[in-house]
A = this chain, B = another copy of it.
Amino acid sequence: MQVNEYFEGRVMSIGFENTEGRATSGIMQVGEYEFGTSETELMKVTSGSLEVRLPGESEFKTYASGTEFNVEANVKFQVKVKTPTAYLCFYGG
């Protein structure tokens, strides 16, 4: 399995693939991040909470544990993390 590190190790993930698709399971530590997508992403928050500003939106929206959001391909989006948060990211769905 591949372990990915971003933002000096403050975001880490493990890659996997199953019947739900290609995915990473990761943790974001407290911080503010900008991510770029190269394909569509379905982000599921599984513990903690993310404040997310998607392309074209003017304000951050909170996604709590148990919620999810979609991100288009080839865009950037901003995330504020106020508590360590676990997520699953499914690609290209």
Residues of B within 8 A of A25 (CB): 14, 25-27, 46-47, 86
| Smallest CB gap from A83: residue in B | B18
Given contacts A1-B9, A1-B27, A25-B25, contact A84 B18 (CB under 8 A): yes
Q: How many monomers of this protein are in the complex?
A: 2
Chain A interface residue count: which class? 20 to 34
Given contacts A14-B14, A48-B18, contact A3 B1 (CB under 8 A): no
Those of A6-36 within 8 Å (CB) of chain B: 9, 12-14, 16-20, 23, 25-27, 29
How close is A64's CB to chain B, nearest CB, in angstroms?
A: 11
A33-72 CB mask vs B (1 if < 8 Å, else 0) is 0000000000010111000000000000000010000000
